[in-house]
Structure 1
Amino acid sequence: MKRLLATALLGALSLTACAQAPQSQAAQTQGQAKAPANSSAADAKVRAALSKLNPDVSVEYIGVAPLPGFREVIAGGQLVYISDDGRYLVQGAVVDLQRENRDLMRDSAALAKFRQKLIDTVPVSDRIVFAPPNPKYTVTVFTDIECGYCRKLHSEIAELNRQGIAVQYMAFPRMGLGSKDHQDMISVWCASDRRRALTNAKGGGSIERRDCKNPVSMEYNIGQRIGVDGTPAIFTADGTQLGGYLPPGNLRLALDQWAEGKGGQ
């Protein structure tokens, strides 16, 4: 995956198993830093600093960070804090010791909202869905048919459904556009029975070559824009990334904890 900023400074945010914005809601939470007196000047300095790192950088969002003296920035689907004067860049965990050791970067409302907005542009009809009746939770999973952990997750799809979890797959051919992986995923998405074709492909079965108008490239590009660099990548309904592969019981627990956290906000 192409890095939009210097690799040494911006690593992958997503916790994946097979390697490859609106105003932040955090601004309304307790302990949120206030905007500098001249926000536009701070934003300009932040943009200049990012441009110096990489002139082609794509900046999707700049807003007030919960860390005093810093701006919250989403670039290339990744989150960093940059000081208002454009001098310092912070990436990784930023822990608030007065708020139950909360990791502010992991819990960024702006990043989740950015991801949610892009994911929601893909209609359910363009996804491959495995869902129980009246699911408790629905997750979006960027998947690849070759990835071992994607295959493992899919082998447990019945148990995920029994746990009340609906899985909506979106295509992320990790070998890139134009690859055999990419063409095979097009063939799956063009099958008359996508669910059966996907299950067959993830089981190592032969893939009948097909072509049609399909969303595979679009879904791959959306995955790149929200920072997916490997598969599987699992997202909740509000754009929070839960990580890569999780066993069914662990995924249900993570979703319960996510829902509890949402209720407490």
Structure 2
Amino acid sequence: MNKTLVTTIMAAALSFGVAADEINKSNISKKLQTITPFAVQSVTDSVVDGLYEVVTGKGIFYTTKDGEYLFSGSIHEFKPGLRNITSERKAEIASVDIDKLRSSFVTYKAPNEKHEVLVFFDTTCGYCRKMHNEMSQYNAAGITVHYAMYPRNGISKSSANGETFTPTYNSMMNVVCSNNPTSTMDMVMRGTDVAPQACDNSIKEHYELGSALGVRGTPAVYAMDGKSVMGGYAQRQALLKKLNEIKG
């Protein structure tokens, strides 16, 4: 067979394969958004042959390439240490959003900053209150703390009057919409009444970021690159030790 003809046939086959692959990805995205409330951000080839990686607002999923089966959970590298590939991808994706949202976090800056952490925070959480009461200790240790608002009961709820914001969301809105969010947060955590506030805000984006990372409770401490540091409250020395280990 003529070499030019063979090359043309191979190129056409490759082009057809790429087109079919893109159609599969598009169909899977549409199917998932039809049967779940998850917003699909991307469908790409996974590190595992035969699977697509599906990034959604609720985390990472995997599907077979025929779109028949959906998997949740983590993929680990089957080598010593069992490297968590899914967790690394979540952090990689989250780091971009963290950078975009940085200015919207409620920040307690250390005067001699050595570390920064992102804490998913709920104003009704007992251990969040305990952590907040020790803020001066974290700051003195060189740890800057950024709060991402994470109302554990969600953003809104159904009522007789339709969809309304949850009390925790309203409490957080009072903080982020005030002229001095850190001072207002201090007041809220002391149980002091604050003036109701309303404004366009990033609480929903904070909540979605936490959901994508897999936050299930508060406080949840992350590094600014999206990697998990502590799954709950940590006393200053314990947190500092962990951060030094990660940095080292």
Q: TM-score, normalised by structure 1?
A: 0.69
Find the counterpart in structure 2 of residue 100 from structure 1. 81
Distance change in 2, residues 1:226/1:194 (3 Å): closer
Deviation at 1:167, TM superposition (A): 0.5
Which segments of structure 1 move beyond 6 Å, counting only runs of 4 or more?
Answer: none
Q: TM-score, normalised by structure 2?
A: 0.73
Corresponding residue SS for 1:71: strand
Matched, 1:231 2:218: yes
Find the counterpart in structure 2 of residue 73 from structure 1. 54
Matched, 1:47 2:29: yes
Could you say which structure has the larger radius of gyration? 2
Identity across the alignment (%)? 24
- Separation of aligned partners in 1, 2:109 and 2:208: 25
Quote the RMSD (CA, aligned, Å).
2.8
The answer to whether the 8 Å contact 1:122/1:219 transfers is: no
Deviation at 1:166, TM superposition (A): 0.7
Matched, 1:169 2:147: yes
Deviation at 1:194, TM superposition (A): 2.9
Distance change in 2, residues 1:123/1:213 (3 Å): farther
Find the counterpart in structure 2 of residue 9 from structure 1. none
Find the counterpart in structure 1 of residue 97 from structure 2. 118
Distance change in 2, residues 1:80/1:190 (3 Å): closer
Deviation at 1:191, TM superposition (A): 4.2
Structure with more contact order per residue of length (Cα contacts < 8 Å, sep ≥ 6)? 1
- Separation of aligned partners in 1, 2:117 and 2:71: 29
Corresponding residue SS for 1:122: helix
The answer to whether the 8 Å contact 2:220/2:233 transfers is: no
Find the counterpart in structure 1 of residue 197 from structure 2. 211
Deviation at 1:102, TM superposition (A): 0.9
The answer to whether the 8 Å contact 2:94/2:226 transfers is: yes
Q: Flag the structure with higher helix content.
A: 2
The answer to whether the 8 Å contact 2:150/2:206 transfers is: no
The answer to whether the 8 Å contact 1:76/1:226 transfers is: no
The answer to whether the 8 Å contact 1:78/1:226 transfers is: no
Matched, 1:150 2:137: no
Q: Which ranges in structure 1 are unaligned for 5 or more consecutive residues?
A: 1-36, 261-265
The answer to whether the 8 Å contact 1:143/1:150 transfers is: yes
- The size of the alignment, in residue pairs, is 217
